[in-house]
């Protein structure tokens, strides 16, 4: 049955869903890469499509920005639509000095200052970690494609305009990049007993000022998209 946020029917989603944040990027991916894509959701403008890639069913759906939005959509996909795998494909800001615009990263784990995990009633926040099977498949796919993917920890934050100015401190403890959705996705996958992975392209480097344009963020970053799609073939 449809949910308050999704008018798709049971069976409309494939077992694997790619989730960019931007609805327009979801449409771009579906129209560019999927065979016979069909629109399965447009509630609140969160476009979702299902088609095939290399004869494998795959869906792509926007998550919106931030952990609350990702938490809603990933939770419903896992629990209401029987989705088994969600791969977030989005943008991130570089924290590590070794990263540059258009570099690809895979989030092995996600640290966060968010209170999202307080709902579980635990004495401390549980680790927000990627599913090993998805990470392994993506790493192997990257190697086969000749893509240099950086694997490590990311910072998942609730604030884009942040006055704390702590990125340099996060750099000291090995954080690769900062983004806004991975921790909620990893928590929801753990709660549902499903699999999740966050793959991001560096869109800007806050500590150096290097940045991609808004148009590039919407329609570029093909390396990350092809990596995620080719990873789904092996699942």
Nearest to 21, CA basis, from 92, 75, 81: 92
Set 12, 103, 139, 204: catalytic member: 204
For residue 62, the Cα-to-chain-centroid distance in whole angstroms is 10
C-beta separation of 141 from 229 below 8 A: no
Residue 232 CB contacts under 8 Å (≥ 6 apart), including other chains? 16, 18, 53, 56, 58, 85, 87
- Catalytic, 204? Answer yes
CB 189 within 8 A of CB 75: no
What does the alpha-carbon distance between residue 81 and residue 185 come to, in Å, rounded to a whole number?
16
- Characterise 147 by phi-psi region: left (phi > 0), alpha (psi -120 to 50), beta (else): beta
Residue 211 near residue 204 (C-beta atoms within 8 A): yes
Token pair for 210: 């290097």
SS3 state at 202: strand
Instruction: Provide the 3-class DSSP secondary structure of residue 130.
Output: coil
> Both tokens of residue 76?
């419903």
Catalytic residues: 204
């Amino acid at each position: 049955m449809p949910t308050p946020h999704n008018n798709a029917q049971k069976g409309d989603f494939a077992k694997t869903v790619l989730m960019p944040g931007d609805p327009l990027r979801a449409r771009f991916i579906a129209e560019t890469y999927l065979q016979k894509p069909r629109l399965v959701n447009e509630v609140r403008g969160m476009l979702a499509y299902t088609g095939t890639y290399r004869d494998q069913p795959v869906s792509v759906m926007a998550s919106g920005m931030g952990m609350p939005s990702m938490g809603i959509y990933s939770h419903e996909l896992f629990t209401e639509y029987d989705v088994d795998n969600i791969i977030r494909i989005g943008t991130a800001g570089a924290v590590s000095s070794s990263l540059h615009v258009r570099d690809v990263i895979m989030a092995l784990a996600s640290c966060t200052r968010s209170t999202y995990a307080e709902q579980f009633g635990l004495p401390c926040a549980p680790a927000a970690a990627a599913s090993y099977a998805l990470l392994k498949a993506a790493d192997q796919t990257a190697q086969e494609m000749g893509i240099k993917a950086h694997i490590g920890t990311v910072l998942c934050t609730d604030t884009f305009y942040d006055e704390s100015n702590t990125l340099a401190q996060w750099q000291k403890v090995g954080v690769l990049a900062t983004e806004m959705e991975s921790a909620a996705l990893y928590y929801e996958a753990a709660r549902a007993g499903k699999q999740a992975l966050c793959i991001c392209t560096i869109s800007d480097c806050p500590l150096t000022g290097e940045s991609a344009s808004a148009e590039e963020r919407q329609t570029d970053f093909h390396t990350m998209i092809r990596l995620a799609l080719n990873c789904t073939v092996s699942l």
